[in-house]
Amino acid sequence: MPVARKSASEYATDIRAAIANRTARYDTGVLAIPDVMVLPHAAVLEAQNEQLRKISLVVSASNEAEFDGVEFSSDLEALVGNEGLLRSLGGRSTVTATFYRQTTPLADVVVPRGYPVGSLPDEASGATIVFVTIETQTMLAASAASYYVAARSRYELDVAVVAAVVGQSGRVAVGRVARELRPLVGFDGVTNLATAAGGRDAETNRELIARYRLAVVGQQLSTPNGILRNIRDRYPDVRDVITVYGTDELLTRAATDAGAVDVYVIGDQLLEATESLTYYGVGQTMAVANPPLRAVLDVVQGATVYVAADDYDAVDDASGYGGSTRAVDGIAFRAGGTQPLPVVGSLVDVTYTYNALIRVLQTESTGEDRAVLERDLLHREGVAVPVTIAANLRVGVGFSAITVLAAVRARVLDLVNVRRGFGARALDDTTALPGALEISDIQGDVRQVTGVDNFTLTTLRRSSAAAGAVVDLTITRNEYPTLADADLVVTLV
């Protein structure tokens, strides 16, 4: 929570009120009591508040302008150290110093490594910059002619030098490096024929904060936890998320897509769309433009209304991209339906709902500011597993059977539909292991309803499965259970 600025005057008001709580007859307005008991404390508290505000700002790394001074540099460095960042101490400028002489050298002349030369004093500040040679260079007498520069009528030897100080101050202009700081036999003088380049001041607090943010954001985007955090932070409609990558058996497209990472999501924002799709023939999928398709609402051509599961079927992608924006979802006409088939090549109007949340997630994750290189991130709808639950309920003596029954039903529906995520894991209990919708979970939950005397499960199965013994229901990691009101049957006994 940010710490608000509070002035000494405001603290004084608080202290006055505190003293007045003891007795309102103390003169807290003028002189003796204010001078000793109110105002000094207020001044100290204001200073303390200022310190707390600074620390609060350091923690949140906000309001960079507050950190222009060096006062909180060490605190800031400690904070960014959590991300493994160190302040850059800056860089030194470099330039080529040209040592020259007018006469032909008769013996080899050496400029040793570490030889210091200085710049002429700055006209404004009087400051000079010391440069040091970073290599040993020799003007060879045997090939003296090669050092001769006719334009300047002298023999020249170029030696790289680096500023002794870090920072932009080392970027001196042409001709400024002109002072030999040690005696150097064999040369008449030194100069620089180009402007010194490079040289960067130590990283400012603002720059450090900017890099810290970059480190945090970068981490968010490139790690499994970062993906989860990003979605959790930005999309409140998402109930649960899992990330599937590497050699995970759930990664159905690993063999074809390099760098594939699937993010399964529970959550939806359903939008409706109507499209005119071309009919190609019986059994041919007429793909919609906005996958993932959730439900087909209407298929018409002119006055002809086609009926689902009679004239056509909704088609979900089974190629490994199902539930994503890459899915090929649509409808396919059957032969032998009630209505006559459309003419091949004609347009059929299809109205459907699709999950816009998946499309938004996909679009934003691949935007320039969020894309991670070499990663093929694909958001997919989690696989909903409709379950059927039946149970016998005996209500305790003295309780309203109707009330208890309603409470039990509400509790079970909430448990399965709201409080369970991928793999039927408990979203409100991070220690619970995913993988199954367990009898004991349902029992434990129902037993918290007051008035339940006995509760016996008679059915617990996937709605698509055949009836059998009541056992814990296995739910894989990219699946989540859903329970329709009609699939929950509780019988009073």
Residues binding other proteins (CB under 8 A): 8, 16, 24-36, 39, 43
Question: H or E stretch including 271?
Answer: strand 270-278
Tokens of 253: 């497209």
- The residue (of 36 and 270) whose beta carbon lies closer to other proteins is 36
- The residue (of 8 and 208) whose beta carbon lies closer to other proteins is 8
- The residue (of 49 and 355) whose beta carbon lies closer to other proteins is 49
Q: Return d(Cα 416, Cα 412) in angstroms, integer.
A: 6
- The residue (of 42 and 263) whose beta carbon lies closer to other proteins is 42
Least gap, CB of 3 to other proteins (angstroms): 22
Least gap, CB of 23 to other proteins (angstroms): 9
- The residue (of 17 and 467) whose beta carbon lies closer to other proteins is 17
Least gap, CB of 32 to other proteins (angstroms): 5
Least gap, CB of 5 to other proteins (angstroms): 17
Half-sphere exposure of 489 (CA within 13 A, CB side): 8
Least gap, CB of 239 to other proteins (angstroms): 56
- The residue (of 8 and 314) whose beta carbon lies closer to other proteins is 8
Least gap, CB of 124 to other proteins (angstroms): 40
Write the DSSP string, 332-395: EEPTT-SSPPPPTT-EEEEEEEEEHHHHHHHHHHTSTTT--TT-EEEEEE-EEEEEEEEEEEEE
Q: Return d(Cα 122, Cα 271) in angstroms, integer.
A: 69
- The residue (of 43 and 305) whose beta carbon lies closer to other proteins is 43
Q: Return d(Cα 292, Cα 355) in angstroms, integer.
A: 6
- The one-letter amino acid at 233: D
For strands 91-101 and 197-200, give the pairing: antiparallel
CB 386 within 8 Å of CB 329: no
- The one-letter amino acid at 437: L
Least gap, CB of 39 to other proteins (angstroms): 5
- The residue (of 42 and 163) whose beta carbon lies closer to other proteins is 42
Tokens of 175: 């001709």
Q: Return d(Cα 404, Cα 383) in angstroms, integer.
A: 32
Phi, psi of 332 (to 5 degrees): -140, 130
Q: Return d(Cα 44, Cα 63) in angstroms, integer.
A: 24
Least gap, CB of 15 to other proteins (angstroms): 13
Q: Return d(Cα 456, Cα 392) in angstroms, integer.
A: 5
- The residue (of 42 and 157) whose beta carbon lies closer to other proteins is 42
Least gap, CB of 47 to other proteins (angstroms): 13
- The residue (of 23 and 247) whose beta carbon lies closer to other proteins is 23
- The residue (of 36 and 402) whose beta carbon lies closer to other proteins is 36
Least gap, CB of 213 to other proteins (angstroms): 39
CA dihedral 166, 171, 174, 179 (to 10 degrees): -30
Phi, psi of 23 (to 5 degrees): -155, 130
Q: Which of 381, 433, 374, 439 is nearest to 412 (CA)?
A: 439
Determine the distance from the C-alpha atom of residue 182 to the mean position of all C-alpha atoms in its chain, rounded to a whole number.
56
- The residue (of 8 and 405) whose beta carbon lies closer to other proteins is 8
Least gap, CB of 81 to other proteins (angstroms): 39
Cis preceding-peptide flag for 292 (omega within 30 of 0): yes
- The residue (of 26 and 280) whose beta carbon lies closer to other proteins is 26
CB 298 within 8 Å of CB 276: no
Least gap, CB of 38 to other proteins (angstroms): 9
Residue 480's SS3 state is: strand
Using CB atoms within 10 Å of the CB of residue 215, give its burial: 0 to 12 exposed, 13 to 18 middle, 19+ buried. Answer: middle
Least gap, CB of 31 to other proteins (angstroms): 5
Q: Which of 55, 375, 379, 91 is nearest to 218 (CA)?
A: 375
How far apart, in Å, are the Cα atoms of 268 and each of 8, 39, 238, 381, 387? Answer: 52, 58, 7, 9, 20
